[in-house]
């Protein structure tokens, strides 16, 4: 099947879902820019900018639920895969073509909705607007699509696949934001004695603060100091020699965004590789000859050159039974 045929088939089958998600992305991008303009006038985030930010955060999940989850599960649930995969295209070719087309669309629309933040409009990067980055939003959208495809292939049920994709996508995004993102690179530590506070540059993301001993190693607050003010107690008791602060500087934001983009693209590649492996190795997806063969009643006389026809036209016809019946009738 040619690239034009795959493109036409994908548009024909998914035009309503593609159109709805495209309108959501374009509308969200417009609302983000409108929110930035309103914020410059009012000094605070407007409701329009807030709702647009929510759409931006959830866009990858929308792609996974609306595009990815039903892509294979609908074919399996309705039994139409016997037709879709029984023609001149294999299941792997069918899925590869659709994933390429929808994946490119998802990346483009994700980049569109990631060009604004709905609040600052400031070209300077801040950790609070970490996910308002066009490349990162494109990676989230591709990941959502890959996750939905694999979940749909495993569940074989559209509603189940959509619900599971929603839950799994949310868990992965939250886990990445809370646990993984801050530790993509080792943090920077600033230590000082009791005469001053640790020096943290403006815009840095502070990960943890505490006390250090004479070797500048972190120490926990002792049991004796927990009921009191920890700072003065640790100092007077000699349990600590100073303070420390671990942070990620603001000049790492761009690097962290591309590292997280690479992480989600790697996850997407793994999910799609598993999906294609399952599809390639599962003989149950392939239509059997009985499903592809048209019966003689519907197709007319059998083709003597058809290798799928179990009958051999050269075999002699046994006419002994009709002749016996005719003889009895005459008698």
pLDDT digits (tens, 9 = 90+) for 80-93: 777 767 667 788 88
188-192 and 242-248 beta bridge pairing:
antiparallel
Average of pLDDT values for 253-268? 95
Does residue 292 have a pLDDT over 50?
Answer: no
Tell whether the model's pLDDT for residue 123 goes beyond 70. Answer: no
Confidence label for 172 from pLDDT (cuts 50, 70 and 90): very high
- Which of 166-180, 211-225, 288-302, 308-322 reaches the highest mean pLDDT? 166-180
For residue 41, pLDDT beyond 90: no
Averaged over 162-175, what is the pLDDT? 96
Residue 327 pLDDT greater than 70, yes or no: no
Q: Yes or no: say if 71 and 102 are a contact pair by the CB < 8 Å rule.
A: yes
Q: Which residues face 206 on adjacent strands?
A: 247
Rounded to 10 deg, the angle between the 134-155 and 47-63 helix axes is 40
Is 202 exposed, middle or buried (CB count within 10 Å of its CB: 0-12, 13-18, 19+)?
exposed
What share of the chain has pLDDT > 90, as a percent?
41
pLDDT at 156 exceeding the cut of 80: yes
Mean pLDDT of 184-210: 90
**Cβ–Cβ < 8 Å for 97, 173:** no
> What is the pLDDT at residue 319?
43
Pairing of strands 242-248, 205-212: antiparallel
Element (H, E) at 211: strand 205-212
Do the beta carbons of residue 136 and residue 60 sit within 8 Å? no
d(CA 261, CA 139): 6
In degrees, rounded to 5, the angle at the alpha carbon of residue 67 between the alpha carbons of residues 63 and 71 is: 150
| Site of tokens 């793994």 | 270
Confidence label for 260 from pLDDT (cuts 50, 70 and 90): very high
Which alpha helices (H) appear in 43-114, and where do they start and end? 47-63, 69-78, 81-84, 91-113
d(CA 175, CA 222) in angstroms, rounded, equals 31
pLDDT at 160: 95
């Amino acid at each position: 099947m040619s690239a034009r045929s795959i493109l036409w088939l994908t548009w024909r089958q998914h035009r309503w879902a593609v159109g709805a998600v495209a309108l959501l992305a374009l509308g969200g991008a417009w609302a983000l820019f409108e929110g930035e303009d309103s914020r410059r006038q009012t000094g605070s985030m407007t409701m329009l900018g807030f709702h647009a930010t929510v759409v931006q955060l959830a866009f990858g999940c929308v792609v996974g639920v609306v595009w990815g989850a039903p892509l294979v599960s609908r074919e399996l649930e309705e039994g139409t895969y016997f037709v879709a995969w029984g023609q001149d295209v294999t299941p792997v070719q069918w899925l590869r073509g659709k994933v390429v087309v929808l994946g490119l669309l998802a990346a483009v629309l994700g980049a569109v909705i990631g060009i604004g933040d709905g609040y600052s409009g400031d070209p300077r990067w801040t950790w609070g607007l970490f996910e308002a980055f066009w490349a990162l939003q494109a990676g989230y959208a591709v990941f959502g699509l890959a996750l939905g495809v694999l979940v749909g292939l495993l569940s074989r049920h559209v509603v189940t696949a959509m619900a599971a994709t929603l839950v799994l996508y949310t868990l992965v995004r939250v886990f990445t934001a809370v646990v993984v993102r801050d530790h993509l690179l080792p943090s920077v530590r600033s230590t000082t004695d009791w005469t001053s506070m640790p020096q943290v540059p403006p815009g840095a993301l502070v990960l943890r603060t505490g006390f250090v001993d004479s070797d500048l190693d972190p120490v926990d607050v002792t049991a004796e100091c927990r009921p009191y003010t920890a700072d003065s107690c640790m100092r007077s008791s000699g349990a600590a020699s100073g303070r420390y602060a671990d942070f990620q500087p603001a000049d790492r934001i761009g690097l962290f965004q591309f590292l997280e983009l690479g992480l989600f693209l790697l996850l997407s590649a793994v999910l799609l590789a598993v999906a294609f492996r399952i599809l390639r190795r599962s003989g149950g997806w392939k239509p059997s000859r009985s499903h592809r063969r048209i019966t003689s009643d519907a197709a007319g006389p059998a083709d003597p050159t058809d290798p799928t026809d179990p009958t051999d036209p050269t075999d002699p016809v046994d006419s002994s039974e009709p002749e016996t019946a005719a003889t009895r009738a005459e008698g």
